[in-house]
Amino acid sequence: MTQIRPSIAVLGGTGHEGAGLAARWARAGYKVAIGSRDVARAVDAANELSRAAGGEVVGAGNVEAAAMGEIVVLAVPYAAQRTLAREVRAELEGKILIDVTVPLIPPKVARVQLPGGGSAVEALQQELGEGVRVVSAFQNVAAHQLSALDSPVNCDVLVTGDDIEARETVCQLAKAIGITAWHAGPLANSAAAEALTSVLIAINKRYKVAEGAGIRITGIPEQP
Amino acid sequence: MTQIRPSIAVLGGTGHEGAGLAARWARAGYKVAIGSRDVARAVDAANELSRAAGGEVVGAGNVEAAAMGEIVVLAVPYAAQRTLAREVRAELEGKILIDVTVPLIPPKVARVQLPGGGSAVEALQQELGEGVRVVSAFQNVAAHQLSALDSPVNCDVLVTGDDIEARETVCQLAKAIGITAWHAGPLANSAAAEALTSVLIAINKRYKVAEGAGIRITGIPEQP
């Protein structure tokens, strides 16, 4: 008997961060759908990931991919976040949406610039409404590390969301690919993870970190 | 020959965070002045710290303490930050001011609530003007850990500021008390450290962390 794993749709799965997550979930035995505006690119990326990581990966347009996923991951640049979320809204009802977006505003990506004074994901949750269980996670993991499939990820993940059960599911999804994940509070607390990405970029520049700096949470006693 | 160490004034040095920092600097051989609204309390705290940590610690009113410090540390609750800074402004000209303030807004201290959509310290720098070299640091270190003088601090410090030389001085001041400190970018990036404190409080609650959770930066190659 195998454990039943939810199917995961990664919108923006042709980008570095999305592809890295998709590859790790595919290898861990999850069914993965890669979504992109460009269906041909999504299919190509899916085939490549399937070869590299093993497992079942399909490519599709964003709406079709969102329809396939029991859990949907939004891994697009900040400029595309809201538009894409609106576009696939009908496919998200009742589902968990994991937002990986970081509000980087080029060219000063090493400078914290939180939009409208809060986390980008809170605005997204408001836009999508209560029918979508938005959880924020994975902002601080370097894409570079995700795609090095045979190496462990040297960064913890802060998981924030107002739906605690959905948050727990996302923590489990992180753990399934070997990443330590922490319940980090309500969706408002995503501001910390979003801001921290610019800090890590600043640290990468200053200390010449090729692999991508990350964070670990310290001081937690062993959990039962 | 002994190395010349700047004198440090810790305003709010009767509070837990300020007292912990003051004790560690005193033990490391810095001259420390404890500032408080209440001179008698400052003197008492200074005597107690001097006994516990060794070294030279004096207590004074905030203005007098600020005048004594070549470097001034602001370690008061958020509600008192701006008022106190204004009060001692005349003593800060040309000096480094290390702001330790976290914009916690009770009672929801485990929820990120950045004031006016940015870091609290940026507003402070604007208020004080360019004559004061404001650096933000130490927001994520639990007071509990600072005051356990014989134990190492299990948390890195993010140091942000627009004056890179001042930032470097603060990194050295952290290292002098055994704390790993990182240049984390401009003052705007203090938003990450400020927000992270609420995340750490949320983690402390969720995972029942008595000592106080902290962070470590990972992935940095050994520095020369």
Contact B125, B150 (CB under 8 A): no
| DSSP character at residue B145 | H
CA distance, residue B132 to nearest chain A CA (Å): 21
- The reply to whether A83 falls in a domain is yes
Cα–Cα distance measured from residue B158 to residue B174, given in angstroms and rounded to the nearest whole number: 10
Cα–Cα distance measured from residue A13 to residue A44, given in angstroms and rounded to the nearest whole number: 11
Amino acid at A177: I
Considering only B54-58, B128-132, B167-171, which range has the smallest mean pLDDT? B54-58
- The reply to whether B30 falls in a domain is yes
Inform me whether the pLDDT recorded for B83 exceeds 90: yes
Residue B113's alpha-carbon distances to A110, A138, A183, B104, B143, in angstroms, are 22, 21, 18, 7, 21
Instruction: Give the domain extent around B42.
Output: 8-206
What is the arithmetic mean of pLDDT over B93-104?
Answer: 97
- The reply to whether B214 falls in a domain is no
Q: Do B183 and A196 touch (CB under 8 A)?
A: no
DSSP E strands in A27-75: the ranges are: 32-36, 57-61, 71-74
Inform me whether the pLDDT recorded for A222 exceeds 90: no
| Number of structural domains in chain A | 1
- The reply to whether A125 falls in a domain is yes
Closest listed residue to residue A99, CA positions, set A190, A200, A217, A35: A190
Question: Chain B partners of A137 at a C-beta cutoff of 8 Å?
Answer: none
Residue with tokens 């014989």, as numbered in its chain:
B150
What value of ipTM does the predicted structure carry?
Answer: 0.95
Inform me whether the pLDDT recorded for B105 exceeds 60: yes
- The reply to whether B63 falls in a domain is yes
- A158-173 pLDDT per residue, tens: 999 999 999 999 999 9
- The reply to whether A14 falls in a domain is yes
Determine how β-strand B32-36 pairs with β-strand B57-61: parallel
pLDDT of residue B118: 83
Q: Do B114 and A118 touch (CB under 8 A)?
A: yes
- The reply to whether A30 falls in a domain is yes
CA distance, residue B173 to nearest chain A CA (Å): 19
pLDDT of residue A3: 56
CATH number at residue A103: 3.40.50.720
Cα–Cα distance measured from residue A97 to residue A132, given in angstroms and rounded to the nearest whole number: 7
Give the burial class of B161: count Cβ atoms within 10 A of its Cβ; 0-12 exposed, 13-18 middle, 19 or more buried: buried
Closest listed residue to residue B11, CA positions, set B60, B70, B57, B49: B60
Nearest Cα residue in chain B from A188: B112
Sequence-distant (6+) residues with CB within 8 A of B31 are B5, B7, B8, B55, B56
Amino acid at B90: A
CA distance, residue B167 to nearest chain A CA (Å): 13
Q: Do B203 and A184 touch (CB under 8 A)?
A: yes
Give the burial class of B36: count Cβ atoms within 10 A of its Cβ; 0-12 exposed, 13-18 middle, 19 or more buried: buried
Give the burial class of B222: count Cβ atoms within 10 A of its Cβ; 0-12 exposed, 13-18 middle, 19 or more buried: exposed
**Between helices B190-206 and A190-206, what is the axis angle to 10°?**
130
- The reply to whether A170 falls in a domain is yes
Cα–Cα distance measured from residue B183 to residue B161, given in angstroms and rounded to the nearest whole number: 9
At B98, the pLDDT band (50, 70, 90 cuts) reads: very high
SS3 A58: strand
- A75-99 pLDDT per residue, tens: 999 999 999 999 999 999 999 999 9
- Read off the tokens for B203: 């983690």
Closest Cβ–Cβ partner in B112, B182, B185 for A189? B112
Nearest Cα residue in chain A from B161: A111
At A224, the pLDDT band (50, 70, 90 cuts) reads: low
**Which ranges in chain B belong to alpha helices (H)?**
16-27, 39-53, 62-68, 78-87, 120-128, 143-147, 164-175, 190-206
Task: Encode B84-120 in three state secondary structure.
Answer: HHHHCHHHCCCCEEEECCCCCCCCCCCCCCCHHHCCH
At B224, the pLDDT band (50, 70, 90 cuts) reads: low
Inform me whether the pLDDT recorded for B1 exceeds 50: no
